[in-house]
Chain A
Amino acid sequence: MLKKESLRKADVISSIILIILGIYVIKEALKMPATGLPGTVEQEFYLAPGFFPIIVAIVLIIMGLFLLINGIRSGGRISKDDLRKFVKIFTSKNAIRSIVITALIIIYTIILLGRIPFFWATFIFLAGSMFFLKAGSWWSILLISTIGSLIIQYCFGTLARIPLP
């Protein structure tokens, strides 16, 4: 979790996103027809499919406003200097580890799986992640990735009979 000072700044950003999300949900929900139950002629607003999402969105907007006010009161105003710090957060060594692993997960799940056989996709992801994280010597990484992929494929594909992608 972020430090307390950064948290208040993050609160300001997240509250604005929440308010925008709430307004978007209300806009979309209002487009949903206010018809009654199938087979009936009732046209009450409280039966409309958009009724509940509107209530949830209103609650989110109210909570977002509370969070925004609290964030600003607790020193969460965002300055130009904060933007520089924000960029720095994303370029720190620890953040780069998270970003690269996120990228590898996205490549594995969205690009590789379904396009190449499961074993090779998993092997590439495991080996790539472990190489990046410097988990050991190159031969141990290749060995662990190969054995790991084989065990996973055997346990789930063969034993549990899951048709792997």
Chain B
Amino acid sequence: MGLFIFFQELINLITNGQILFLMFISTILGIIIGALPGLTATMGIALLTGITFGLPAKLAVPILISIYDGAIFGGSIAAVLINIPGTPASAATALDGYPLAKQGKAKEALLITRIASFIGSLFGMICLLEIAPLLSKVALQFTSPEFALLALFGITICGSLTAPDLAIKGWIAGFLGILVSCIGMDGLHGFPRFTFNIPELLGGIAYVPAMIGVFGIPQVLISLRYSTGEMARIIEVKTKLMNILRIIKNHIFCVLRSGVIGVYVGTIPGVGEDVASWLSYDTAKRSSKNSESFGKGAYEGIIASETANNACIGGAIIPLLTLGIPGSPPAAVLLGALLLHGIRPGPMLQFEFPNFIYEMSALLAIASFLLLICGTLMTSILVPILRRTKNEILMPIVATLCVIGAYAINISLFDIKVMVILGLLGYILVEMGYPMAPFVLGVILGPMIDVNLRRTLLTSNGSLLPFVTRPVSIILLILIAFSFISQTSWWKNRKKKGVKVS
């Protein structure tokens, strides 16, 4: 039945010229965003969320999915051609992609990354189609205590895994986000909290200006701190499609394994495509017979990295749609975008929008095919652009787009100020080693914790027992406790000792 609905949605989308055209343009835009160093998939989705706000959801969602898929692939173009990963997700691709380009195999490497990304996206889509409906059924058993704990778990695990310095900084960033979400009228009483008599704050801090601010402004400032250096020369050599397909066929096990790693990493809240690609690259290197060729232009390296990062997209959308917890930073922004368009991901999604999971799967399938077509088109166009565009020209334009993205949601100059203030705060926090993904998750999921926590206490007359007597709550509590304990020096020392003994 599910498969039938999926094909029905697929046919509906394919026969809709307007959606197909918008997805085509968005995939191209996504590839450009991904290919330009400094612009990430997260930032691209955040920008486009603001800009597409005025469009109906049936047009805005396909645009954002295409941007997401295109940007994750686009990063590999810059990684292969100029050894600068366009997005963090393609950093592992640069390790072998650039040496291949220097050997005169730039086109070959790009064709491989394109096919690997296509297979990865498709693999992620199949997993989304198969796993998401099953997980939705489990999620139906969730009530207030589970929702509060689930949101808290998403923020803490994201904090643990995305912190570049200390895990505690990831948690602090998450709780700062929750604190920001407390601004405005509270969900139960409508009492104004921390509004400082500013009427614009009564409605709270809007997601999109906050997201654009903390992801966009730090990126602009960090990219502009150093002047653009010399870029490497690109070698162009002709290649045959049959040879590439043979290479992919010879590494089919690596492709499948990377797909599984990508989807698995994607389902973990807040952990994104970059982790998937590194983990897959590392696994490929460890299990390869030619591990010494890694870093010198191994096809396996770019296949592993690119398959995993695109498979991660489907994986990240699974918890997003079924539990309302995004699997990666771009998915966190996507969650904000869906909420903005009146689509509330989570267990109730299958009742409010029964076919949405299948529609998303169909969109991802189309985006995968468009990626293959647009990737071919854009590779030749982006080569000269990548060689000539300076950060000093690009970043001021990006800053202007951030301003429009923040403004367009509510047509409010106040939102621009919010974006700038949070952006500067984000810049300082990023410099001090605080990750921004848990902050954004905190802003989005904060109200969910607040309302569900107090609702649980209301129904239990102030007792905390529902949190420790319900099976799912207990599991979530254990997971939250583990996400904290696993980061302590005691646990890490214990693990090290265990490894030494074995």
Q: Give a binary string over A35-59; 1 marks a CB under 8 Å from any B CB, 0 the rest.
A: 1011000001011011111011101
The answer to whether B51 and A156 have CB atoms under 8 Å apart is yes
SS of B interface (majority): helix
| A91 interfacial by beta-carbon distance below 8 Å | no
A12 to B399 CA separation, bound complex (whole angstroms): 31
The answer to whether B433 and A7 have CB atoms under 8 Å apart is yes
Output the least CB separation between A114 and chain B (Å).
Answer: 5
The answer to whether A97 and B225 have CB atoms under 8 Å apart is yes
| Closest 7 pairs between A and B when the two form their complex, measured CB to CB | A135-B392, A129-B396, A133-B392, A49-B191, A49-B186, A52-B450, A46-B457
A160 to B22 CA separation, bound complex (whole angstroms): 13
Q: With A113-B416, A130-B392 as given contacts, are A46 and B226 in contact (CB-CB < 8 Å)?
A: no
The answer to whether B424 and A52 have CB atoms under 8 Å apart is no
Contact residues on A (Cβ < 8 Å of other chain), bracket: 35 or more
A62-113 with Cβ < 8 A to chain B: 63-64, 66-67, 70, 94-95, 97-98, 101-102, 105-106, 108-110, 113
The answer to whether B194 and A136 have CB atoms under 8 Å apart is no
**B-side contacts of A98, CB under 8 Å:** 221, 224-225, 427
A59 to B446 CA separation, bound complex (whole angstroms): 14
Chain B residues engaging chain A, CB cutoff 8 angstroms: 51, 54, 164-166, 168-169, 171-172, 175-176, 178-179, 182, 186, 188-191, 193-194, 217, 220-221, 224-227, 390, 392-393, 395-397, 399-401, 403-404, 407-408, 411, 413, 416-417, 419-420, 423-424, 427, 430-433, 449-450, 453-454, 457-458, 462
Q: With A11-B432, A49-B188, A162-B408 as given contacts, are A106 and B420 in contact (CB-CB < 8 Å)?
A: yes
Q: With A135-B393, A156-B404 as given contacts, are A60 and B176 in contact (CB-CB < 8 Å)?
A: yes
A2 to B397 CA separation, bound complex (whole angstroms): 27
Most-contacted residue by chain A among B169, B395, B396, B419 (CB, 10 A): B396
- Which residue of chain A has the shortest Cβ distance to B458 in the bound complex? A47
The answer to whether B182 and A52 have CB atoms under 8 Å apart is yes
**B-side contacts of A66, CB under 8 Å:** 168
A53's partner among B194, B399, B424 (CB-CB below 8 A) is B194
The answer to whether A125 and B396 have CB atoms under 8 Å apart is yes
| A142 interfacial by beta-carbon distance below 8 Å | no
B397's partner among A60, A101, A134, A148 (CB-CB below 8 A) is A148
The answer to whether B420 and A110 have CB atoms under 8 Å apart is yes
**B-side contacts of A113, CB under 8 Å:** 403, 413, 416
B175's partner among A32, A59, A161 (CB-CB below 8 A) is A59
Q: Give a binary string over A13-49; 1 marks a CB under 8 Å from any B CB, 0 the rest.
A: 0100010010001001100110101100000101101
B193's partner among A2, A32, A35 (CB-CB below 8 A) is A32
A56's partner among B179, B189, B220, B457 (CB-CB below 8 A) is B179
A46 to B430 CA separation, bound complex (whole angstroms): 34
Output the least CB separation between A137 and chain B (Å).
Answer: 12
The answer to whether B420 and A109 have CB atoms under 8 Å apart is yes
